[in-house]
């Protein structure tokens, strides 16, 4: 355990009061001429959620807000296990029935306003597979299309490219969806051997035994999928609804796609005589009868995959542009393909159990015998920075962690840590952003955080490192500490490295900082009874009033999540101004 941190300076903050939530009055429905107004509340609508998305250059990508109106007498339908609990199989059932224990937050009609376009009313809405509550991931890269699953009474409705596509009755019918600019394709299973495919609402395939692996190419010109017209063990690969491969006994989901987000398709098909790898219109000439090809990694015009010949395993690096195939005995593990400065690396376990990293010329960059690794944590992780530096992380047999940079000990990491929690790279400098667990007991509350080659140790629970830490391109790192006062009495605090820069709150989320790290903003709530984990667009979360905090100071009013605008040099947030929802600069 590192020695206890010294007394931290605390900033005096205003106390949360009921004045945080602004009272609404009824005004005419016409929207204000104010240039930054994105919506005008109508009737008894209430603003309960808001996000602004920005492009890398700081220009506006999207606005997403939620308003709701009371509907106390509505009938609510619900399936079991409705909350977010992680990825769930599309094959599970779950038709909805009348909810006999309706919560207050469900007695509303909810409306989404996306880029000024109003959708709804909905009872509730989630990501298509119900496993990702972050709305920023529901939006297309260009910021024009929104895809989600809405509950309307007793049925679900798929929305894609911001438009309703199809209704379905149970969770087991959750559609497969693919999108491209101006295009939407989706697959719905209506019965055991009755799968339908539609593109732009036009019925393309029907009464298929199965349709899988739906995906558009980078520019949207090609739609790829796997279909079984009659039997699931006779599958074909289709490009723009024309057969290009098959019949195969199987074409697995993780071995099909487009090379590095291009228009060149690849897939692996199994036949009675073996497996074949196809890239574009070319069959890759494998040197032996390889079976059991695993996941295919695609990056920068290369494909990496493993296969098996009897008891021997081999890894391959296929370069699409010149049709060359590198072979190495061993199997891919972890992040199997790493690209840095247009150089490729394969992370493999060799036949002698060495954990080895080789480059695109089959040269060994790093190799570690299994006996020198911890017996239960024997993985070796390899990462490459944008500048081409290779970082290797592993745990020695004695339990101590090691981080190597280009083969040499990375000094800021030290050796008194047990495991790697997080590694990413500064998009400006290429320097590492690392989280290490250095706890000496099972609490897991002591972290070493490395940002731009500067290391500091922290004490305090973080729960989810990626969610509760922020690395600005320049300046100090931020993190959120959880302190447990009693059962269900948890408090959250913002730290700038080891300086406490906010008071404690029962809930604190949507932390964002300026590029230079001098300013920070977040949403907070001091409702001890609220059961929310983050600023999500779920009914329960949106029911809890939140307050905007900027640089440790609470701002009166009703706000959505803050975002730092490099163009404005200020934070932006959706807020209510009278009856208008506007973008405010702070």
In this predicted model, which residue has the larger pLDDT, 22 or 507?
Answer: 507
The vertex-96 CA angle with 93 and 99, nearest 5°, equals 140
Secondary structure letter of residue 26 according to DSSP: -
In this predicted model, which residue has the larger pLDDT, 8 or 312?
Answer: 312
Per-residue pLDDT reduced to its tens digit, 509-552: 999 999 999 999 999 998 887 777 789 999 999 999 999 999 99
Does residue 400 carry a pLDDT above 50?
yes
Which of 225, 270, 278, 228 has its CA nearest to residue 249? 270
DSSP 44-66: T-EEEEEEEEE-TTS-EEEEEEE
- Check residue 31 and give its pLDDT: 35
- Check residue 51 and give its pLDDT: 97
Across 120-134, 335-349, 433-447, the highest mean pLDDT is recorded for 335-349
- The Cα 158–Cα 156 span in angstroms is 7
Does residue 582 carry a pLDDT above 80?
yes
Does residue 21 carry a pLDDT above 70?
no
Secondary structure letter of residue 541 according to DSSP: H
Backbone dihedral region for residue 455 (phi beyond 0: left; psi -120 to 50: alpha; all else: beta): beta
Does residue 288 carry a pLDDT above 50?
yes
Does residue 8 carry a pLDDT above 70?
no
Q: What is the mean pLDDT of the chain?
A: 87
- Check residue 434 and give its pLDDT: 96
105: three-class secondary structure by DSSP: helix
Which of 556, 552, 562 has its CA nearest to residue 509? 562
Secondary structure letter of residue 396 according to DSSP: B
Does residue 309 carry a pLDDT above 70?
yes
- Check residue 438 and give its pLDDT: 92
- Check residue 138 and give its pLDDT: 93
Residue 80: band (very low, low, confident or very high) from pLDDT cuts 50, 70, 90: low
In this predicted model, which residue has the larger pLDDT, 212 or 445?
Answer: 212
Instruction: Write out the two tokens for 397.
Output: 């047999």
Per-residue pLDDT reduced to its tens digit, 146-205: 999 999 998 889 999 999 999 988 777 889 999 998 899 999 998 888 999 999 999 999
Residue 122: band (very low, low, confident or very high) from pLDDT cuts 50, 70, 90: very high
- Check residue 35 and give its pLDDT: 55
- Return phi, psi of residue 253, to 5°: -60, -35
Residue 82: band (very low, low, confident or very high) from pLDDT cuts 50, 70, 90: low
- Helix (H) or strand (E) segment spanning residue 539: helix 539-542
Per-residue pLDDT reduced to its tens digit, 24-50: 222 233 333 345 799 999 999 999 999
For residues 110 and 68, is the Cβ–Cβ distance under 8 A?
yes
Which of 288, 286, 280 has its CA nearest to residue 321? 280
Instruction: Write out the two tokens for 330.
Output: 């061993």
Percent of the chain clearing pLDDT 70 (strictly above): 90
- Check residue 141 and give its pLDDT: 85
Mean pLDDT of 214-221: 94
Least confident of 4-13, 263-272, 384-393: 4-13
Percent of the chain clearing pLDDT 90 (strictly above): 67
Does residue 22 carry a pLDDT above 70?
no
- Check residue 96 and give its pLDDT: 78
Residue 393 pairs in a beta bridge with 381, 403
Q: Residue 73 contacts by C-beta under 8 Å, 6 or more apart in sequence?
A: none
Instruction: Write out the two tokens for 22.
Output: 């602004």
Q: How many CA atoms lie within 13 A of 69 on its CB side?
A: 11
Q: Residue 12 contacts by C-beta under 8 Å, 6 or more apart in sequence?
A: none
Please state, as a whole number, how many other Cβ atoms lie within 10 Å of the Cβ of residue 116: 11
- Check residue 86 and give its pLDDT: 39
**Cα R_g (the chain), whole angstroms:** 26
The separation between the first and the last C-alpha atoms of the chain, rounded to the nearest angstrom, is: 40
For residues 437 and 446, is the Cβ–Cβ distance under 8 A?
yes
- Check residue 379 and give its pLDDT: 84
Residue 46: exposure state from Cβ atoms within 10 A (0-12, 13-18, ≥19): middle
């Amino acid at each position: 355990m590192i020695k206890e941190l010294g007394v931290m300076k605390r900033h005096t903050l205003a106390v949360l009061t009921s004045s945080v939530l602004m009272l609404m009055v009824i005004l005419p429905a016409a929207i204000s001429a104010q240039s930054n107004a994105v919506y005008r509340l109508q009737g008894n609508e209430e603003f309960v959620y808001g996000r602004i998305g920005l492009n890398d250059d700081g220009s506006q990508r999207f606005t997403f807000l939620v308003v709701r109106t009371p509907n106390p007498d509505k009938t609510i339908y619900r399936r079991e296990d409705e909350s977010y609990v992680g990825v769930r199989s599309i094959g599970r059932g779950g038709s909805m029935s009348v909810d006999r224990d309706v919560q207050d937050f469900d007695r509303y009609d909810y409306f989404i306003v996306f880029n000024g376009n109003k959708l709804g009313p909905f009872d509730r809405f989630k990501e298509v597979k119900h496993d990702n509550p972050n709305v920023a991931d529901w939006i297309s890269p260009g910021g024009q299309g929104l895809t989600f699953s809405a509950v309307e009474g007793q049925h679900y409705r798929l929305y894609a490219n911001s438009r309703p596509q199809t209704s379905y009755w149970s969770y087991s019918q959750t559609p497969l969806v693919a999108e491209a600019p101006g295009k939407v394709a989706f697959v719905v299973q209506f019965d055991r051997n009755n799968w339908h495919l539609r593109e732009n609402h036009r019925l393309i395939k029907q009464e298929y035994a199965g349709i899988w692996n739906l995906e558009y190419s980078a520019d949207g010109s090609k739609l790829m999928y796997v279909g079984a017209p009659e039997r699931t063990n006779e599958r074909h690969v289709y490009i723009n609804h024309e057969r290009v491969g098959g019949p195969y006994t199987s074409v697995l989901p993780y071995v099909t796609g487009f090379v590095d987000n291009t228009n060149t398709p690849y897939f692996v098909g199994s036949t009675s005589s073996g497996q074949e790898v196809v890239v574009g219109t070319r069959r890759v000439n494998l040197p032996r009868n390889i079976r059991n090809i695993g996941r295919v990694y695609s990056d920068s015009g290369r494909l990496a995959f493993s296969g098996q010949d009897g008891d021997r395993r081999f890894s391959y690096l296929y370069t699409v542009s010149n049709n060359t195939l590198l072979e190495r005995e061993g199997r891919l593990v972890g992040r199997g393909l790493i690209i840095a400065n247009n150089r490729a690396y394969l992370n493999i376990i060799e036949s002698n159990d060495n954990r080895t990293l080789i480059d695109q010329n089959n040269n060994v960059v790093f190799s570690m015998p299994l006996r020198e690794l911890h017996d239960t944590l024997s993985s070796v992780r390899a990462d490459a920075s944008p500048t081409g530096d290779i970082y290797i992380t592993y745990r020695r047999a004695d339990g101590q962690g090691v981080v190597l940079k280009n083969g040499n000990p990375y000094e800021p990491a030290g050796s008194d840590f047990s495991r790697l929690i997080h590694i990413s790279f500064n998009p400006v400098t290429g320097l590492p952003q690392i989280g290490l667990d250095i706890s000496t007991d099972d609490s897991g509350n002591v972290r070493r955080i490395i940002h731009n080659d500067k290391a500091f140790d922290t004490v305090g629970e973080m729960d989810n490192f990626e969610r509760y830490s922020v690395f600005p391109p320049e300046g100090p790192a931020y993190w959120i500490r959880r302190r447990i006062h009693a059962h269900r009495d948890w408090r959250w605090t913002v730290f700038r490295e080891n300086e406490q820069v906010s008071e404690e709150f029962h809930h604190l989320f949507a932390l964002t900082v300026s590029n230079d790290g001098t300013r920070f903003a977040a949403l907070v709530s001091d409702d001890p009874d609220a059961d929310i984990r983050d600023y999500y667009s779920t009914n329960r979360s949106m029911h809890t009033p939140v307050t905007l905090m900027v640089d440790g100071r609470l701002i009166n009013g009703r706000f959505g999540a803050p975002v730092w605008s490099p163009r404005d040099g200020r934070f932006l947030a959706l807020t209510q101004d009278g009856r208008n929802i506007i973008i405010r600069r702070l």
